[in-house]
Chain A
């Protein structure tokens, strides 16, 4: 069986003048349809670069990314990104931010009224319809990420790419959003690739966790299945032996075998 999303022997080297920095080395990964995969690693190991390569925002040095057996090397709405810092356009309202994406992706495919309804539907998914006429500066950080998520979902992407989507949020807001993402994933069955540096988040949300070694020339160190049934409940999991064991294994990988180097 061929994978839905296939990352095939990717190398990435940044060249600046005469200085070459090898960031990623021989990364291969296959992701199935509907799978939720987290990529975890220390800061500076190149996880965001990897995500940007899948998104098409950064070109590869060698190797390729295949989505449904077709090579993708430029950005597109089939791989929607939720950026770390929300990236909403501050001059547009919450509604217009999502509508911009809806109008662009579904131009000619949906009528005006359908696009309006679809925009509101996606705002409902993230429980943000009540703030649809507010501007990004008028809502909280967590709300901005919800809108960013709504914008990405509204594109009906084949793969949803989350780039440390909750990194800049406080613990409570983060927990709320994680629950929302789980619920949405459960409901829509999206294929999700998430970058994170939070072990609990990775174990809670993922079907598989990809652990990356430290850069330069980061590789995939280990891939672990999280064999927890869904739906998952945060409170019940805290005593679940599978959960604790998975968590333990990721922590060991990150802090024993691939301890953070200062230079990164």
Chain B
């Protein structure tokens, strides 16, 4: 009897004691502590990369400042490319343009090639995923062709199109299409039998089945392919443009190398990296928007 009495006493005492303490501490500083938590959270994300970048720049500076260094230190890169950084929009005709124009020319080629690859890739992937016959016929061809390096297609496409612009777009297309096809095909093949049964009981026709079952069900796979595809496109464009010349970030890099403007190459690489990152995030954002329902299951 006495034991239970003691127990209840401690049980009722326990929750009230800490609650009081919390209230006392929290009330005067509720806003301040929330702000502090927010600042801490941001700092925890931002500080480590800043520290690491600072360290890298420091080591780079120390290594390349010595006489006889083959590459410029970051301070010299900044000084020599300052004009390009502050005015990306100048246009002196020919290929003597600001970086904005080079990057936008490259982005346009990627946009065209990638859009074509997405449409054709999803269509072919659907075909291969739906039809056993198409899979047996096409899959071996895909498996062989997808291992061909992007630039190996360039001479052939130059021979076919006799112009740099469509050739570059074709190289982007042929680079980006394989992961799109393969992932779309896997996504279609993996549509659960349950969904097919539902479609059959409802007597959905081919078109309804495609839009209402196939696309949403395979969307996570399709977007995986599209995300790999955009990365590969951006990888391939720089290399392709080095060879075809004209306006574009790839040829800008090649031109800088020919003129021994090493600092400009470094600046261009930073831009290429940042834009590649943004492109990847854009496709990822669209993907999470479109597949939010499917991903939850």
User: Do A and B belong to a common assembly?
Assistant: yes
Chain A residues proximal to chain B, CB less than 8 Å: 55-57, 74-77, 79-81, 83, 85, 87, 89-92, 100-101, 104-105, 135-138, 155
In the complex, which residues of chain A have a beta carbon less than 8 angstroms from the beta carbon of B201?
55, 57, 75-77, 79-81, 155
List 14 additional A-B contacts (Cβ < 8 Å) besides A81-B201, A89-B213. A57-B201, A75-B200, A77-B201, A83-B194, A87-B192, A87-B195, A87-B197, A89-B198, A89-B217, A90-B294, A91-B294, A100-B212, A104-B208, A137-B293
Q: Which of B198, B200, B291, B297 interacts with A136 by CB under 8 Å?
A: B297
Q: Top 3 A-B pairs ranked by shortest CB distance?
A: A91-B293, A90-B297, A87-B194
Min CB–CB distance A183 → chain B (angstroms):
24
Cα separation A244 to B68 with both chains bound (whole Å): 99
Cα separation A129 to B297 with both chains bound (whole Å): 22
Q: Bits for B59-71, please: 1 = Cβ < 8 Å to A, else 0.
A: 0000000000000
Name the residue of chain B whose CB is nearest to the CB of A76: B203
Q: Could you tell me if A77 and B203 are in contact, using CB atoms closer than 8 angstroms?
A: yes
| Given known A-B contacts A57-B197, A87-B194, A89-B216, A104 and B297 have beta carbons under 8 A apart | no
For this complex, into which size category does the number of interface residues on chain B fall? 20 to 34
- CB-defined A-B contacts under 8 Å, sample of 24: A75-B197, A75-B201, A76-B201, A77-B201, A80-B201, A81-B197, A87-B195, A87-B197, A89-B217, A90-B293, A91-B216, A91-B219, A91-B291, A91-B293, A91-B294, A92-B293, A104-B202, A104-B204, A104-B208, A105-B202, A137-B293, A137-B297, A138-B296, A155-B201
Q: Bits for B258-297, please: 1 = Cβ < 8 Å to A, else 0.
A: 0000000000000000000000000000000001011011
Q: Could you tell me if A101 and B296 are in contact, using CB atoms closer than 8 angstroms?
A: no
Does more than half of chain A's interface fall in helix, strand or loop, or is it mixed? loop
Name the residue of chain B whose CB is nearest to the CB of A81: B201
Cα separation A74 to B202 with both chains bound (whole Å): 11
In the complex, which residues of chain A have a beta carbon less than 8 angstroms from the beta carbon of B297?
90, 136-137
**A to B contact number (C-beta, < 8 Å):** 62
Q: Could you tell me if A104 and B203 are in contact, using CB atoms closer than 8 angstroms?
A: yes
Interface-central residue, B201, B203, B216, B217, by most chain A CB under 10 Å: B201
Cα separation A225 to B248 with both chains bound (whole Å): 82
Cα separation A104 to B192 with both chains bound (whole Å): 21
Q: Could you tell me if A83 and B203 are in contact, using CB atoms closer than 8 angstroms?
A: no
Q: Could you tell me if B198 and A57 are in contact, using CB atoms closer than 8 angstroms?
A: no
| Given known A-B contacts A100-B212, A136-B297, A83 and B202 have beta carbons under 8 A apart | no
Q: Could you tell me if A101 and B202 are in contact, using CB atoms closer than 8 angstroms?
A: yes
Cα separation A57 to B219 with both chains bound (whole Å): 26
Min CB–CB distance A59 → chain B (angstroms):
12
Cα separation A247 to B197 with both chains bound (whole Å): 33
In the complex, which residues of chain B have a beta carbon less than 8 angstroms from the beta carbon of A56?
200
Cα separation A75 to B202 with both chains bound (whole Å): 8
Cα separation A91 to B212 with both chains bound (whole Å): 10
Q: Could you tell me if A87 and B198 are in contact, using CB atoms closer than 8 angstroms?
A: yes
Cα separation A81 to B204 with both chains bound (whole Å): 15
In the complex, which residues of chain B have a beta carbon less than 8 angstroms from the beta carbon of A57?
197, 200-201
